Amino acid sequence: MNELLNKILFLPEQASTFAERVDNLHYFVVAVTMLSSLVVGTAAVFFFFRYRRRKPNQTTEYVVPSVKTEFLFVSLPLIFFLTWFVIGFRDFVFVSTPPKDAMDVYVMGKQWMWKFSYPEGPNGVNVLHVPANRPVRLLITSRDVIHSFFVPAFRIKMDAVPGRYTQTWFEATKPGTYQILCTEYCGLSHSKMLGEVVVLSPEAWDEWVKEQRKGNLQNRQDALADLSLAPHPARMAEQGQKVAAEVGCFKCHTVNGEPHIGPTFLGMYGRTETLDNGQNIRVDEAWITQSMMDPGAHLVAGFPNVMPTFQGKLTGPQTAAIVEYIKTLRTPDIRTGASSQG
- What's the min distance (Å) between Cβ of 244 and ligand CUA? 25
CA distance 281 to 248: 25
Closest by CA position to 331, among listed 254, 237, 267, 253: 267
- What's the min distance (Å) between Cβ of 110 and ligand CUA? 8
Q: Which CB atom, from 161 or from 247, has the smaller least distance to ligand CUA?
A: 161
Q: Which of 19, 98, 109, 200 binds ligand CUA (CB under 6 A)?
A: 109
142 and 130 Cβ atoms separated by less than 8 Å:
no
193 touching ligand CUA, by CB under 6 A = yes
Q: Which CB atom, from 188 or from 255, has the smaller least distance to ligand CUA?
A: 188
- What's the min distance (Å) between Cβ of 185 and ligand CUA? 6
If you count them, how many residues does the chain have?
A: 342
- What's the min distance (Å) between Cβ of 146 and ligand CUA? 8
b (16+ CB within 10 A) / e for 40-59: eeeeeeeeeeeeeeeeeeee
CA distance 111 to 147: 9
Closest by CA position to 286, among listed 320, 250, 245: 320
Q: Which CB atom, from 46 or from 185, has the smaller least distance to ligand CUA?
A: 185
Q: Which CB atom, from 149 or from 169, has the smaller least distance to ligand CUA?
A: 149
Q: Which of 147, 155, 271, 327 binds ligand CUA (CB under 6 A)?
A: 147
Q: Which CB atom, from 92 or from 185, has the smaller least distance to ligand CUA?
A: 185
Phi, psi dihedrals of residue 147, rounded to the nearest 5°: -120, 180
94 and 20 Cβ atoms separated by less than 8 Å:
no
Q: Which CB atom, from 85 or from 185, has the smaller least distance to ligand CUA?
A: 185
Contacts for 333-342: CB closer than 8 Å, 24+ residues apart: 333/267, 334/267, 334/269, 334/270, 334/271, 335/270, 339/271, 339/272, 340/257, 340/266, 340/267, 340/271, 341/267, 341/271
Task: Tell me which stretch binds ligand CUA (CB under 6 A): 1-9, 180-188, 203-211, 214-222.
Answer: 180-188
Please list, in sequence order, all residues whose beta carbon lies within 8 angstroms of the beta carbon of residue 96, skipping any fewer than 6 positions away.
Answer: 168
Please list, in sequence order, all residues whose beta carbon lies within 8 angstroms of the beta carbon of residue 158, skipping any fewer than 6 positions away.
Answer: 138, 140, 148, 149, 166, 167, 168
Q: Which of 134, 137, 157, 190 binds ligand CUA (CB under 6 A)?
A: 190
Q: Which CB atom, from 17 or from 142, has the smaller least distance to ligand CUA?
A: 142
182 touching ligand CUA, by CB under 6 A = yes
263 touching ligand CUA, by CB under 6 A = no
CA distance 342 to 338: 10
Phi, psi dihedrals of residue 257, rounded to the nearest 5°: 95, -10
186 touching ligand CUA, by CB under 6 A = yes
Site string for ligand CUA, 53-92 (x = CB under 6 A): ----------------------------------------
Closest by CA position to 147, among listed 183, 122, 120, 179: 183
Task: Tell me which stretch binds ligand CUA (CB under 6 A): 75-83, 181-189, 197-205, 284-292.
Answer: 181-189
184 touching ligand CUA, by CB under 6 A = yes
Q: Which CB atom, from 184 or from 324, has the smaller least distance to ligand CUA?
A: 184
- With CB under 6 A as the rule, give the number of residues binding ligand CUA: 9
Question: Which residues form the interface with ligand CUA (CB under 6 A)?
Answer: 109, 112, 147, 182, 184-186, 190, 193
